[in-house]
Amino acid sequence: MLHEDDCRHRAIKTDAPREAEVTMASTAREASQSSPSISGISLGFSSLAQRFRWASWSLLPSLVLEGSPLDPIANELRVKPPLIFLPLEDHPVHRGAVFAFLTYLGIWILPICKGNQHLLRAAETSCLTSNPNSITAKIQEIATPPPPGSPYAVPIPGTEREGRTPIYRHWKFQDKPLLETFDPETRTFYDLFDYTLKHFPNNRCLGSRPWNPTTKSWEPKYVWKTYAEVAARAKNFGSGVFELHRRIGIPPGNHGVGLWSQNRAEWQIADIGFITQSMYSVSLYETLGPDTSEFIIKHAGLSCVVASLPHVPLLLALTPRIPQLKLIICMDPLDAGEPAGLSKRSILNAIAEQNGVQVWSMDDVEALGATAAHPPRPPRPEDIITINYTSGTTGDPKGVVLTHANCVAGISSARSAGNYSQRDTNISYLPLAHIFGRLIDQTALGEGASIGYFHGDMLELVDDLKILKPTGFPSVPRLFNRFNIGIRAQTVEADGVRGALSRRVIDTKMANMKLPPGQAYNTHFLYDRIWTPKVRAAVGMDRCRSMISGSAQLDPEVQKFLRAAFGNTFASGYGLTESYASTACQANNDFTTGNNGPPLPSTEVCLESQPELDYLVTDKPRPRGELLLRGTSMFREYYKNPEETAKALDADGWFHTGDIAEFDELGRIRIIDRKKNVLKLSQGEYISPERIENVYMGSSNLIAMAYVHGEGTQSSLVAVFGVDPVNFAPFASKITKQTIAPEDIAAVKTAAKDPRVVKAVLKHLDDIGKKHKFNGYERVRNCVLDVEPFSIENELLTPTLKLKRPQTARKFRAEIDRMYTEINEEASKIKPKL
């Protein structure tokens, strides 16, 4: 019998031969799959073993091998690995069985007692950091919500100051450093992808729908590349790009390469390839025009741009004005076996050579890289991973400099919600040039999950969803609004039994979601078997467990309805390019609406009073002011723009977002205004036009686009609305008593100008405003109706589909003046009562 007094710095050596180690390695692999823990410690040593090229030992996390970080422990004990720690307090029977098994294997055994518990803690720390199961355990610990009714974010005592609230943090990070990574060895995206590759090399990684040239259609299936295949292509591509830069005299370094295409597997392969050589991507939006494209390429100093074939002619046209651009790499094949001089490669290079530019295909660059075989040059945490240019709603886009450390912190925060695993499948359609889409894809890659790419047509996105059946669906309010309208029309607004049953289902779930914290839920044992699956299947959401809305404010009514209809987790989040899209997100058990949840573990937040807008941190019942951010995922600077950097980042490192927010009683963030977009009417009332626009678009199937306008010299609001022809045509037909076909756009436009139709739409919007308790001055008093009045082509929408408000006001100046004239003339006819 061993006693505590005898076990200090002692180890027991068993006598079985070392040949048994092979058996143990095999047995351990099997055991680690079925036994989650021993003595409360997560199992799984294979990841650490693989990292240091040891045998795949994974039975116990406290096993010490030669050459490991735990060697100092073995040295202190004066024994030679392998070594196992065995807690003394284990049940005697269990301990005896383990002793017998280890004796057969010839393993040193260290009983754990008070005298050497520090060794066990060291072993746990080192071994658990590299274990996927332990990382999952850490994620689940953070994802666990606080006790019902407790705050999701808490103020840090003593951090308040004049004009500011205290600093708020995620409730589990009140008194410890903000989240940077789940594994101290993973500090860059290169590390993260390498880690995933080592653990899940055969998992499906990137999937695409192939084009069938015979039928001239997209195949109804996805073809997949594994993580190992993607890694091999990325490594060769990175080596090839490095070699091409070397040939044109650009030395090794952390420099940028342009990336210009729709979401596709090659986009991700190229981006990972850059990272293998410490280069970074400068992404250009798919829909950018020549002027903005030229600005970004020049401003970022790009010598090389990787692009899809449709962008190559535009790049060639720009080369005379961009002398530093020397390389264009086309993602698509440039040679289909044509005779000499007739291939795309030959024709494009003949044009390119006139300006000293080379055009390569991606396949050729990968072949070049395989031949050159440049070894990887892994980046450092402080190296740039991307310069992400903002949309430019008010001027030239700003280049947001984001580092690998920012990236890993942002991904870690996204993973901390607990909604991802290596078994999941995501659909990639949100523009990868936008940080939200990039974060979603990189988070999936960090988990070992699968990413299926849409085939390029947003109007046919549901076709991709039905084939892929993703388990997660990130999106933006605009698409969720369309889901809401379409599903409502086919369910709760339907006639007969279908409508009656649907209303019963939704009403029941809505009532359940209103229950107190900890009791609320959105599932139903019967309805989720006979009703919900049909709704999900209609839009390809059969397997979808979680959805998240970002990029803009989500209408609370839309969120409530879709939570009830889909019966899954549906969170509203908040993030910016400057925060790697990872600032705040609702917790999985939170069924409230109208807020974006607490700050994520990588970010701390506070509010700063804005007295000129009457938003003060002393406001009751909730503090209000401009939202300020600071943390591990925050950007470094605006590229080559020290003036804007100084405006955005103060001396204490706080980023001033320009968003007006309030903190509720549970520490959740609610965005209520935008500093630059707040309107002040002539009677002194402040208006948030974006809130009104979101309510209209989320509540009416007639309105697809909205711009609400107000002026300081006027007491009312006017608007320009883009109508949805499918729903607007029958509405207008009833008013005009004429049949208007949705596909007859000319007839729809004519009806949109009919004063009777405009009056009926305003009445429809008034009803929505009353339901949402709009104040009188928040009502739209006059409007212009049109089909798609704002677009990227007419330069009123950014590539991320955000409205350019100043440009829209200028574009519709004549209509705005006319609408105000009509309102004032109508008001002058009303005689005051004496």
Half-sphere exposure of 121 (CA within 13 A, CB side): 6
Instruction: Detail the DSSP E strand segments found in 285-341.
Output: 304-307, 327-330
On the 0-12 / 13-18 / 19+ scale of CB atoms within 10 A, 251 is: exposed
The alpha carbon dihedral of 415, 416, 419, 420 has a sign of positive
**Which two three-digit tokens encode residue 596?**
């974006």
Instruction: Identify the pLDDT of residue 8.
Output: 33
Total number of residues shown for the chain: 834
pLDDT digits (tens, 9 = 90+) for 396-412: 789 999 999 999 999 99
Structure tokens at 714: 């006027």
Q: Range(s) for CATH 3.30.300.30 in the chain?
A: 679-828
> What is the sign of the dihedral through the CA atoms of 202, 204, 206 and 210?
positive
From-to residues of CATH 3.40.50.12780 in the chain = 471-676
So what's the pLDDT on residue 96?
Answer: 52
> What is the Cα–Cα distance from 507 to 511, expressed in whole angstroms?
6
Positions of CATH 3.40.50.980 in the chain: 189-411
Look at 712 and 502; give whichever has higher pLDDT: 502
Express each pLDDT in 535-564 by its tens digit.
999 999 999 999 999 877 888 999 999 999
- Residue pLDDT, tens place only, 122-132: 444 444 445 78
pLDDT value of residue 66: 37
Q: Which residue has the higher pLDDT, 270 or 68?
A: 270
**Fold exhibited by the domain 471-676:** Rossmann fold (3.40.50)
- Which of helix, strand or coil describes residue 88? coil
CA angle 133, 135, 141 (to 5 degrees): 105
What is the Cβ-side half-sphere exposure of residue 283, based on CA atoms within 13 angstroms?
29
Q: What is the mean pLDDT of the chain?
A: 85
- Give phi and psi for 453, each to the nearest 5: -95, 140
Give, in order, the Cα–Cα distances in Å from 103 to each of 19, 73, 794. Answer: 13, 21, 78
Q: What is the Cα–Cα distance from 411 to 182, expressed in whole angstroms?
A: 10
Distance between CA atoms of 712 and 683, rounded to whole angstroms? 8
Confidence bin at 395 (pLDDT 50/70/90): low
- Nearest in space to 601 (alpha carbons), one of 174, 187, 191: 174
Tabulate helix, strand, coil % of the chain (nearest 5): 40, 20, 40
Question: pLDDT-based confidence at 108, cuts 50/70/90?
Answer: very low
Q: What is the mean pLDDT of residues 414-442?
A: 94
The two tokens of residue 144 are: 């666990």
As beta bridge partners, residue 425 has: 450
Contacts of 124 (CB under 8 A, 6+ apart): 41, 61, 62
What separation in angstroms does the CA of 50 have from each of 65, 103, 197, 423?
12, 25, 11, 22
Report pLDDT for 554: 85
pLDDT of res. 543: 96
Query: For residue 449, which phi and psi values (nearest 5 degrees)?
Result: -85, 175
Distance CA 731, CA 754 (A): 12
- Under the banding of pLDDT at 50, 70 and 90, the label for residue 1 is very low
Q: What is the pLDDT of residue 501?
A: 96
Structure tokens at 350: 């003949």
Read off the tokens for 509: 């779930």
Contact at 8 Å (CB) between 709 and 809? yes
pLDDT for position 112: 47
Mean pLDDT value across residues 678-700: 82
β-sheet bridge partners, residue 707 = 720
> What span, in angstroms and rounded, lies between the C-alpha atoms of 43 and 61?
5
CB environment 699-712: b (16+ within 10 A), e (fewer): bbbbbbbbbbbbbe
Mean pLDDT across the stretch 177-190?
A: 96
Asked if 613 contacts 675 with a C-beta cutoff of 8 angstroms, the reply is yes
Sign for the CA dihedral angle at 556, 558, 562, 565 comes to positive
CATH code for the structural domain at 679-828: 3.30.300.30
* pLDDT digits 0-9 by tens, 443-457: 999 999 999 999 999
Closest CA to 234 of 372, 360, 362, 410: 362
Sheet with strand 780-786: strands edge to edge: 703-709, 717-723, 780-786
CA distances to 17, 265, 283, 684 from 234, rounded to whole Å, are: 44, 11, 17, 58
- Residue that the structure tokens 């938003």 belong to: 615
The C-alpha atoms of residue 316 and residue 296 are separated, in whole angstroms, by 15
CATH code of 189-411, in short, is 3.40.50.980
Q: Residue 575, SS3?
A: coil
